[in-house]
Chains A and B, each alone.
Chain A
């Protein structure tokens, strides 16, 4: 066996050394690559027609992924249906060529691509508003303020959504299409008399559920994914106690009575085991406790319905399509309802809000197509569709909010919940949100889970000082 292998290698070696003789190392590989071209048969077809230009987008969705069990199938399907529509609407002018990107890497890649002067898309699908700050710091995104203000839809946009897209220097770095607030998914049988509105009521009900061997709540409690949990249940809780993470001037300010009260509340529900252990497992596994209804409520993003399935209700009903429809079905059937979180005395229930929309990167080659695309998505025919597909939230355009698509039980309950809450982006005026997210989540985790006896004020002060030292 060994001899045979050696022989093969020797022959190949010989063949290659002939081409490599000139001392150049580049030729053999360059010759190899075209020879293997068939491996790349999935390269998007580049239309040869003379005046049709490619319009390149980066979405986290992949129109070629037809796996019905894919967790991104809503977005994948949306692109599959919409790309031909766009190409038809702009036939002879633009050809939409999408490049799917890994969801947790596309921001980094865009920043690196712009810095290196590399190939950037004409349009970038933004799903996380805090990316705007990254793009601002790294000079990644174009300021669209002047262009956007001239468009017919501008005056109809929700001002909060515009704020979220505005960089500290006033530049408009994204066009908001969809708002993704945080709210609470609740199993009706676990909270049949409505969701508690105060911490005290919550604790009382949680104790009753615990006596039945159940958990009152599950949330993203781990420090996984760069502290992503902070932007979800943790921020919902902090803001529901009237807390904030910054002083409005770009400095971190954690050591406030409101924040301490919020952390004391979290500490109590963790210490009393109202939260399942899996909430701290990372990798979005906290969802499991809600799926099998062992946990009664789940504060998360509105778009969470897509990923939290299949479901088993407390009464045994199974919603087992294994797709985004499961949660919608459960809500229609009344097994699950959406509501706002509790609130401390004198406070509004808090929630985080995120915006999904579009960014035109610096160095984009086909800005005209991107503008045409944005206007196309803002049209009544397309807007609701995008908000329901990739957007996974509420329309930022007020006109679209009246669309029948948003009159379902799901959206009505969600709208009510949001209406009763005071929602704001968690990072406030902080200019290094990624760093803040990780360090604050680490501090919160330490306080509520790892070391429940640690002095809250001390840990918070230390965290904020460390962050502010980098300002």
Chain B
């Protein structure tokens, strides 16, 4: 903050109206495409559609949303999904980044190949994974549905009933379809996180690692006591960004499970799609959108605070 202030004092270009004109087009587009619709969403969240037209109903949409069991279920599924997805991606990303950081000869090729999933649309990733586990015909179903491999009856990912929950209504352990959804999402997000962590890893000064090795630290200790603390801000940024994308992405659920079987992959973003564009209850969907927006804002502000800490410390 101090740095910003001092720079603006010394800058001496504040008189010019040029920056205003440079930014104006961007602001116009954002006002039209992002701000106005967002305000409309706020208005919509207080309305209900009647045959006569939109009717103001106050906070009724929020109340009804809280009262539906599907909302509560979706919150549970979203938490399970986010924890599984972000956790798995971070851990795997860290391990792969660690392997790549050893500068093996073909690391460029590995990175390129590993990166391809990230470039594929989430809708397609959902379909690609669905093709693998289509009941009876999917190539993976051939293995998983074989009772000799998974006793007693084999596992049909897209239709398997979720196991009995350990914590009352909380959907854990997750259904097979949810696990598979997590795997598919991880597959797509992994390259991004790997690259991010790899970049952070390369900023850890090698002297520190070497000197600690000389002091007798083994590999695990180096990772635990030197690399992880130094990379922590990046990991948290990655975590936030994963949570943000996991919270809002709908394409993969759309094409992989459609929320099923039953409601076992019904997450909030899919619920938003379904009550808005399937059931045409736009008022209630807007109320849900605002709730999701609050979570998003928390994540965004967290990211910003962290990156500013970084900026200051540089």
Contacts and interface: CB of A to CB of B under 8 A. Distances in A.
User: Are A and B direct contacts in the complex by CB distance below 8 Å?
Assistant: yes
Interface of A: 20, 23-25, 108, 111, 134, 136-139, 169, 222-226, 277-278, 280-283, 285, 288, 432, 434-435, 438-439, 442, 445-446, 449-451, 462, 466, 469-470
Given A24-B25, A432-B281, 20 more contacts: A23-B25, A108-B277, A108-B280, A134-B280, A137-B51, A138-B49, A139-B53, A224-B259, A280-B261, A281-B134, A281-B158, A282-B258, A282-B260, A432-B279, A438-B274, A445-B261, A449-B262, A450-B161, A450-B262, A466-B67
B225 interface: no
A25 B261 contact: no
B69 interface: yes
Contacts of A450: 161-162, 261-262, 264
Overall SS of chain B's interface: loop
Nearest to A433: B279
A25 B64 contact: no
A25 B26 CA distance: 9
A12 B278 CA distance: 42
A282 B159 CA distance: 9
A466 B68 contact: yes
A315 B258 CA distance: 36
B28 interface: yes
Contacts of A434: 278-280
B262 A446 contact: yes
Nearest to B162: A450
A59 to B, nearest CB: 21
Contacts of B53: 139
B28 A25 contact: yes
Contacts of A222: 159, 260-261
A227 to B, nearest CB: 9
Interface residues of B, number: 37
Contacts of B260: 222-224, 282
7 contacts: A137-B280, A138-B51, A226-B278, A277-B159, A281-B134, A282-B158, A449-B161
A280 B51 contact: no
A285 B258 CA distance: 14
Contacts of B64: 469-470
Contact of A442 (B28, B70, B134): B70
A91 B29 CA distance: 46
A285 B135 contact: yes
Interface in B62-100: 64, 67-70
Contacts of A442: 70, 262-263
Contacts of B162: 450
Contact of A23 (B21, B68, B69, B263): B21
Given A25-B28, A282-B261, A450-B262, A469 B67 contact: yes
B70 A23 contact: no
Contacts of A136: 51
Contacts of B279: 226, 432, 434-435, 438
A469 B25 CA distance: 47
Contact of B281 (A25, A224, A435, A466): A435
